[in-house]
Structure 1
Amino acid sequence: MGIIFSEKNKVFTLQTQNTTYQMKVDEYGFLLHLYYGRKSKGCMDYLLHYADRGFSGNPYDVGLDRTYSMDVLPQELPCQGTGDYRSTAVAIKNTDGSYGCDFRYQGYQITKGKYGIPGLPAVYAGEDEAESLEIYMEDKATKVQVTLVYGILPKLDIITRSARIQNSGAGKIYLEKAQAACLDLVGGEYDLICFYGRHTSERNVQRTPVGHNAQVIGSRRGTSSHQYNPMMILAGRETTEDAGSCYAMSFVYSGSFKGQAEKDQYNQTRMLLGLSDELFSYPLEAGEVFHVPEVVLTYSGMGLARLSQNLHACFRTHLCRGKYRDKARPVLLNSWEASYFDFNGESIYQLAKQAAELGVEMLVMDDGWFGKRNDDYRALGDWYVNEEKLGEPLGELIRKINGLGLKFGIWFEPEGVNEDSDLYREHPDWALTIPGRDPVRARNQLLLDFSRKDVVDYVFEQMCKVLDQGNIEYVKWDLNRSLSDCFSRNSKDQGRVQHDYMIGLYDFLERLLERYPNLLLEGCSGGGGRFDAGMLYYSPQIWCSDNSDAIDRVSIQYGTSFGYPAITMGAHVSAVPNHQTGRVTPFHTRGVVAMAGCFGYELDPKKLSEEEKKEIREQIEEYKRYTGLIQNGLYYRLSNPAADEVGAWEFVSEDGREALVSAVMLEVHGNMPVSYIRLKGLVSGSVYREEKSGKLYGADALMEAGVPLPVEMGEYRAYQMYFTQVAEP
């Protein structure tokens, strides 16, 4: 396993435990993609086919050879301007105003360990866990240089891709398009699986055949967005959860993006992922370097479950960081749905007191504690504690809550600002607005210009003044609108503002975690509007959706599971009727669903019955018992909630000795047939005991025939079964 370069045939081979990725430098210096798939030996350049293709142009230096065309050949870095009329990864506006680039091979370097990217989140790994490859390319006409960067984590079947683009010429150029990864497949029939949605209904699964049209997903919102997730899967037409070939790309970036899959005129399939090219025209002066954000790739020849597990292992152990990466997260109670803006210090303390009696470990004070903030129309940006509202200093409130044995957390929305705020009145130019135009409001707020260091520094300083007032161990970082009016008064080139905004955000987050290394940060953007691999580098958990309805959450968490570990999903038990849907579900069902993530509560305990309080105590004890399995186990999707009457999922230890199975009845009908849940990942030949019933089951029967769910009256029943191995094969 590792990175191998053959000097004889100029072939790079990236070998992981189960996969091979191969590319070749040809006689003209083009870097051609050969193969990505099941682990294989030998050189795969026999897959390249050359023929005279009408209207497919030929590079000048191939002379009269009309069989050689970049419009047909599979490539690692397809560029605008080489005669490739398919979608390309890089486009440049040159100093003379022309568009085009032609990058040819110059050399390479292989190093131990995983590369990093200055100012950007990226997968990390030590010298004994990873290798990195840099391939140097240059446009001889303009002297613009591109370094293609590859990282491999062999044991996880993970390959990462990034690039550095350097203007080594004499004049200013503009980067018009920059996508980190391209995968060209010369044959096969594929489906594109993507994850679409909206606020409170994120990451719905859509699977469509890749045909002779460009299927494009992306975000123009300045965030990764509720509308599409920056993760996509290319799967063989017959690929299922348990069998078949599939490829995943996940963008380690939290801003606007573009992903695409397309079958070309000769039935080849190209898949691309990277930065959005809308509102993007990034200037590079002579000598300047642009770092393209990273894409994580993985391949599975054993179906979609293994593909997801590859990503889960990578993100959980090589992207998430900090104190809580491997540690059980505290069970928290958030004040939002308990009181919204209507609270004071005493009511927050009473909420904490009731939470402590139930076994909750952390109290989070949500929006409304700062400035003159009694609704969402004013004071956003005024990050000073409203002691008049609280009736006491923040530090005193925290001390009292800590005295109950609870940790304390707090809500911030550092990127937003209301026009009715002291900050905006003093610095209106700090908001993203276009001179001479009325701005677009969302949630009655604007966004601060995080592309400006002075703005970032000011907000950072104000936030630290709050965090220094007491033992604050958790921050919920929220963002409640999309970017628009992307004009910075500090920039001459507005095509750089969106990306510079993200650089400013990442700088803020990095400095925050350096100053408060024990802080647990939970990302949020109206719930799941910025649920991406980039944010996981800073926040090991993200509020999965503002919709806490248990039945909707089954589908939301199902879609999220394709690309992200369960332990990264903030999931809470909330009150009924649910505040987003009005639906009434059993308390037990809400608990079972929330246990498929970072467990917590979003309700007012004083409104609960004694029976419900008892159930909370039992749920917390149960969750703590299973936390290790939920956090580190292999995740299996046992049903498709969009198509099946039941939503079911499973956590299995890596050795297969224990399994936690959860199921929710999504529909109820008269005289219903029995639903059988087939388990996965058990040790064949073994016998397992189900904890609550004490019954013994053969592993192979559990995986082949399944276990029946009771046929009961009542809506939205949920079941949880814990199996342990009692006999070796």
Structure 2
Amino acid sequence: MAIKIDVEKHLFHLQGKKTSYVMQVVRDGYLAHLYWGKRVHNYRGSNKLIFIYRGLSPNPDPQDRAFSLDTLPQEYPAFGTGDFRIPAYQIQLENGSTVTDLRYKEYQVRQGKPVLKGLPSTYAEEQSEAETLEIVLEDQVIGLNVILTYSLYEERDVITRSVRFENNGKRKLKILRALSASVDFRDDEYELITLYGAHTNEKNIARRKIVPGNQAVDSCRGASSPQQAPFLALVRQGTGENHGEVYAFNLVYSGNFIAQVQVDQFQTARVSIGINPFDFSWLLEPAEIFQTPEVVMVYTDCGLGEMSRMYHELYRQRLCRGIYRDLLRPILMNNWEATYFQFTAEKLEQIAIEAKKLGVELFVLDDGWFGKRDNDQSSLGDWIVDRRKLPKGLTDFANRVRNLGMEFGLWFEPEMVSPDSQLYRKHPDWCIHVLGRPRTLSRNQLILDLSRKEVREYIIDAVSAILSTVPITYVKWDMNRHMTEVGSAALPPERQRETAHRYILGLYEVMEELITRFPDVLFESCSSGGGRFDAGMLYYMPQTWTSDNTDAISRLKIQYGTSLVFPPITMGAHVSSVPNHQVGRTTPLETRGYVAMGGNLGYELDVTKLTEQERKTVKEQISLYKEIRPLIQFGRFHRLLSPFEGNEAAWNFVSEDQTEAAVSYFKILSEPAPAIRIVKLQGLHPDYVYKNIETGEIFGGDELMNAGITLPRIKRDFISMFWRFKAIGCHTTGHV
């Protein structure tokens, strides 16, 4: 068994292939955290807890001044009974007090991994893949049970955590804070890594030493947001791509979150992550249950690259679902930057015809096909085709695309409504709003209140009406604003602070229903690009539009940072025209192509305006990508040079059997008197002999990784280089 229990000592040891996570019930039922890190065969308490008297740290046992919850490393700490650090949860009773006292009650171990009701989570296809420990903590005074759930993927060395609150008492309880995980570390010698950004500038990497006090990233925007991601990692000083300890936390949730580390007065660090308690509460009636989202926790002593690959493989294989999880993703042409709102059926068909000649497999019609949508000022919510632009209807146009030998895809923004729309005029109370307050617009739109059943049903019916009558195999699901005036006309006053979380639960319900009804449709999520690129969305939609910024140089950082947690197969990446529409930069078509080949390749430009040489280049790019697509989408990804640390970026992909590799190198600006540079590959088999597909040169895998490739001198900005290698033999056996 992967989960070992010492019943006499109340010791719980979650033992992965290379990791161990250890807890123990101490004193009068307190659940203490003892160890998380490199695997130990048997935990016997060598790092035992030592208590000494600390002034101003309260003592629950008046006979023992040394023992205090303020210094005890805990698994799910409370506030109000002696621990002054950030609590994992907080409950308000009907009398207004917020003191609770959870003590250990019992445990249960089961094979497999339970589904979280109404929430996305990783899963096990076979019972043997995972083992789950549930530890029940109880506050007997109020009849509250809190169930801590730990699922261990033994072979993957991944632990997931979530928490379930059960009100077994006779009175209402109000949850003010319900985080999904809290881990107490014994020291503070760590650096903190987080991902931050903005619209068109997502997933930048921040790294800094943690200091006394609280360091937090969060969102209170109603979405996981481009500003901060629901992820953090603690790393030891000097940890790099291929060495060093990493403790990583990623929340499988798409709404308001907080992820934080607090360093206390005694140089210990507490990490906690979950739903943001700001502007949140949840009224828990007797016999009701509240479930927190899941946290995916990864430990490795082999650096950030190994951490990423652990997340990549888990998310690709056991978070993403549906037939497209294991299928090659299509190369698409999206009309957005080619036409924006101003298009006709004839113009779109011209683009589709030229795209097909170049090898494109899917044509996607973006915003502007419905209502009277000539700009962003109207029609969201009215999902009726605009016959001015498509006079023969959507089905006719989709069939024209399919008759060319391509699939057809369509853009929706189902969560939103325009004040200038039939839907809003009929149901002005269906949006998120506060009675008597002005309704702030963003992008000229409001947010539909998905906490309401009738609103969810309308969205499901409206989208289903299109998908069931038009031959669509791809949907781009967009969301282009964050929440203001957060309130619901359908909720009573005591539940208004539940609105944001109920919205996310409603969104998940809508998406679950649609992907169940239409299992053959590839759904791609989007939120002005990467504004909701999170693990929660990937459970329903196995890829995400990484950023509205299609500039190749900007995308080096955006895709590099995104890859810290998410696999390339989940990243939509497009080649667009120059000067780039977002930043005005002009980059070579070759470079734009190689950057976009780092994810799911697509194009977003008017191909009817390309020169013959550009057509030839695009056709060659598409042909190449079709050859390497299995390697890119299902191979192992290695970051080689960081654009956050210099003037270059590089990465390589290696097939699971290590017989194929693809390498991309980019230099941003040309330099005078540059150094001769060498790029060292990663992930190859050291005993294999590899052939350079383009030149025919032969090199050992050990040579390519240790000696590397010397880069030629090119006097030009925004250059790119690309290599492919295929194993042709083995040093020791002579064959692969």
Q: Same fold (TM over 0.5)?
A: yes
Cα drift, residue 701 of structure 1? 2.7
What runs of 5+ residues in structure 2 fail to find an aligned partner? 732-736
For residues 14-35 of structure 1, give each alpha carbon's deviation from its aligned partner in whole angstroms, at most 9, with x where no partner exists.
1111111110112311111111
Whether the 8 Å contact between 1:257 and 1:274 is mirrored in structure 2 is yes
CA distance in 2, matches of 1:8, 1:725: 54
1:212-223 matches, within 5 Å, as 212-223=212-223
Q: Which residue number in structure 2 is paired with residue 378 of structure 1?
A: 378
The one-letter amino acid paired with 2:197 is G
- 1:591 is matched with 593
Q: TM-score, normalised by structure 2?
A: 0.97
CA distance in 1 between counterparts of 2:710 and 2:646 reads 15
* 2:120 paired residue number: 121
Q: Structure 1 CA distance, aligned partners of 2:188 and 2:174?
A: 36
Return 5+ residue gaps in structure 1 as ranges. Answer: none
What SS does the corresponding residue of 1:671 show, helix, strand or coil? Answer: coil
Aligned to 1:582: 584
CA contact (8 A) 2:350 2:608 kept: no
Q: Residue 297 of structure 2: SS of its match in structure 1?
A: strand
Taking only the aligned residue pairs, the percentage that are identical comes to: 45
Whole-Å separation in 2 of the counterparts to 1:167 and 1:461:
35
Between 76-85 and 156-165, the greater mean CA deviation after superposition: 76-85
| Greater than 4 Å deviation, 4+ residue runs | none
Give TM-score scaled by structure 1 length.
Answer: 0.98
8 Å contact kept, 1:34–1:44: no
Q: Which residue of 2 aligns with 1:97?
A: 96
Alignment of 1:216-365 (within 5 A): 216-365=216-365
Return the alpha-carbon distance in structure 1 between the equivalents of residues 697 and 459 of structure 2: 58
CA contact (8 A) 2:308 2:564 kept: yes
Given that 2:636 and 2:656 are in contact with CA atoms closer than 8 Å, whether structure 1 keeps it comes out as yes
- What is the aligned partner in structure 2 of residue 40 from structure 1? 40
Map 1:437-476; keep pairs closer than 5 Å. Answer: 437-476=437-476
1:188 Cα deviation after fit = 5.0
Residue by residue, what CA displacement relative to the aligned partner does 1:199-234 show, whole Å, maximum 9, x if unpaired?
Answer: 000111010101102111010100000100111111
User: Distance in 1 between the 2:44 and 2:246 partners?
Assistant: 19
- 1:380-395 equivalent positions in 2, closer than 5 A: 380-395=380-395
Which residue type is aligned with residue 617 of structure 1? K
Question: SS at the partner of 1:408?
Answer: strand
Per-residue CA deviations over 1:83-117 (Å, capped at 9, x if unaligned) read 11111111111121101221111111111111110
What are the superposed Cα offsets for residues 9-62 of structure 1, whole Å, 9 maximum, x if unpaired? 111111111111110112311111111100112225433121111111122xx3
Following superposition, the deviation at residue 344 of structure 1 comes to 2.1
Amino acid at match of 1:2: A
Per-residue deviation at 1:686?
3.4
Query: C-alpha deviations, 1:600-646, integer Å up to 9, x for none?
Result: 00111011011111111111111111111112221111011022221
Partner of 2:168: 168
Aligned match of 1:677 = 679
The answer to whether structure 1 residue 56 and structure 2 residue 57 are counterparts is yes
Deviation, 1:281, is: 1.0
Q: Shift of the alpha carbon at 1:265?
A: 1.1
Looking at structure 2, the residues matched to 167 and 96 of structure 1 have their Cα atoms a distance apart, in angstroms, of 16
Instruction: Please report the RMSD computed on the Cα atoms of aligned residues, expressed in angstroms.
Output: 1.1
**Contact conserved, 1:394 with 1:469, CA < 8 A, in 2?**
no
Residue 364 of structure 1: how far off its partner (Å) = 0.4
Match of 1:689 among 688, 691, 694: 691
3-state SS of paired residue (1:613): helix
**SS of the residue 2:682 aligns to:** coil
Which digits, 9 at most, give the CA deviation of each residue in 1:290-318, with x for residues without a partner? 00000000100111111111000100000
> Helix, strand or coil: the match of 1:202?
strand
CA shift, 1:532, in A, is 0.3
Match status 1:424 vs 2:420 = no
Offset, 1:654: 2.7
* Match status 1:525 vs 2:524: no
Q: What is the letter of the counterpart of residue 684 of structure 1?
A: P
Matched letter for residue 503 of structure 2:
Y
Q: Is the 8 A contact 1:105 1:137 kept in 2?
A: yes
Whole-Å Cα distance in 2 between the matches of residues 243 and 363 of structure 1? 43
Measure how far apart 1:726 and its partner are: 2.7
1:283 Cα deviation after fit:
0.8
Alignment-mate amino acid for residue 47 of structure 1: K
1:332 Cα deviation after fit: 0.4
Amino acid of the structure 2 residue aligned with 1:323: I
Hey, what's the Cα distance between the residues in 2 that align with 1:298 and 1:419? 45
Q: Indicate the residue corresponding to 2:82 in structure 1.
A: 83
Alpha-carbon distance in 1 for matches of 2:201, 2:317 = 28
Contact 2:641 2:649 in 1 (8 A): yes
1:645 aligns with 2:644: no
Could you tell me whether the CA contact under 8 Å between 1:385 and 1:466 is conserved in 2? Answer: no
Letter in 1 for 2:703: A
Residue identity in the other structure for 1:423? L
In structure 2, C-alpha distance between the alignment counterparts of 1:434 and 1:343, rounded to whole Å: 38
**Counterpart-to-counterpart distance in 1, 2:52 and 2:393:** 77
Aligned partners of 1:636 and 1:257: how far apart in 2? 29
Select 1:700's aligned residue among 675, 699, 702: 702
Cα distance in 1 for partners of 2:644, 2:43 equals 43
Which one-letter code corresponds to 1:51 in the other structure?
I
Give the match's secondary structure for 1:700.
helix
Contact 2:214 2:263 in 1 (8 A): yes
Q: Deviations over 1:382-403 (max 9, x none)?
A: 1111123211121111111111
Q: Is the 8 A contact 1:11 1:43 kept in 2?
A: no
Question: Relative to structure 2, which stretch is displaced further, 216-225 or 178-187?
Answer: 178-187
- 1:35–1:44 CA contact under 8 A, matched in 2: no
SS in 2 for 1:388: coil
**Residue 264 (structure 1) shift:** 1.3
Structure 2 CA distance for aligned equivalents of residues 685 and 159 of structure 1: 33
Q: State the SS of the aligned residue for 1:389.
A: coil
Counterpart contact for 1:488–1:497, Cα < 8 Å: yes
State the alpha-carbon separation in 2 of the partners of residues 530 and 112 from structure 1.
32
Residue 734 of structure 2: aligned partner = none
Partner of 2:502: 500
Question: Contact conserved, 2:182 with 2:272, CA < 8 A, in 1?
Answer: yes
- For 2:306 and 2:547, the matched residues in 1 are separated by 25
Q: Which moved more, 1:128-137 or 1:667-676?
A: 667-676
**Larger CA deviation: 297-306 vs 666-675:** 666-675
Q: Which amino acid aligns with 2:395?
A: G
1:387-431: CA deviations, max 9, x gaps?
232111211111111111110000000111111111111100001
Contact 1:93 1:176 in 2 (8 A): yes
User: Which residue matches 1:106?
Assistant: 105
Instruction: Read off the aligned partner of 2:596 and give its amino acid letter.
Output: A
**For the Cα contact (< 8 Å) 1:419–1:425, is it kept in 2?**
yes
Higher mean C-alpha deviation, range 384-393 or range 473-482? 384-393
Instruction: Tell me the distance in 2 between the aligned counterparts of 1:707 and 1:393.
Output: 55
Superposition pairs of residues 528-607 of structure 1, within 5 angstroms: 528-607=530-609
Does structure 1 retain, via aligned residues, the 8 Å contact 2:79–2:87?
Answer: yes
1:443-477 residue CA offsets vs partner (Å, 9 max, x unmatched)? 11111111111111112111111112211111100
Give me the whole-angstrom Cα distance separating, in 1, the residues matched to 2:8 and 2:520. 51
